Amino acid sequence: MILLYPAVAILICMGIYTVLTQSNMIKIVVGISIVESSIILLLGAMAYVPEGAAPVLDRSYELVADPLPQALGLTAIVINASTTAIMLALIIKLYNRYDTLNIHKIRRLRG
């Protein structure tokens, strides 16, 4: 469990590095998706309770997992899917207009 937090940090850094260094718009969307997915992984790691039970109506357990980070993670998954779909739709429109996925070329063609 201890190794999960550095893995999340590495994934976040990889996603941010991808967003900042790539000029292909598809790769930038993949980098943003990596950052969003690693945040969801972090929420799941924060909700983990060693030897804990599921939070159900039976109250005989002393240790239960907190359901709020899990609910936030499910909400984040839906938001991740919708933002990725919107970004890809915008990329398709830009590609149809400028015939390139390179953001530097689009900036030059725009003016």
Q: Please report where in the chains the tokens 């590095």 appear, as a residue.
A: 17
pLDDT at 47: 82
- CA–CA separation, 10 and 42 (whole Å): 12
For residue 28, the SS3 value is helix
What pTM value is reported for the model?
0.85
pLDDT for the residue 110: 66
- The string of pLDDT tens digits covering residues 5-62 is 999 999 999 999 999 999 999 999 999 999 999 999 998 888 887 877 777 766 666 7
Per-residue b or e along 19-46, where b marks 16 or more CB atoms closer than 10 Å to that residue's CB: beebeebeebbebbbbbbbbbbbbbeeb
The stretch 78-96 carries a mean pLDDT of: 96
- CATH fold of 4-50+65-110: Helix Hairpins (1.10.287)
**DSSP assigned state of 65:** -
Pairwise CA distance, residues 20 & 25, whole Å? 11
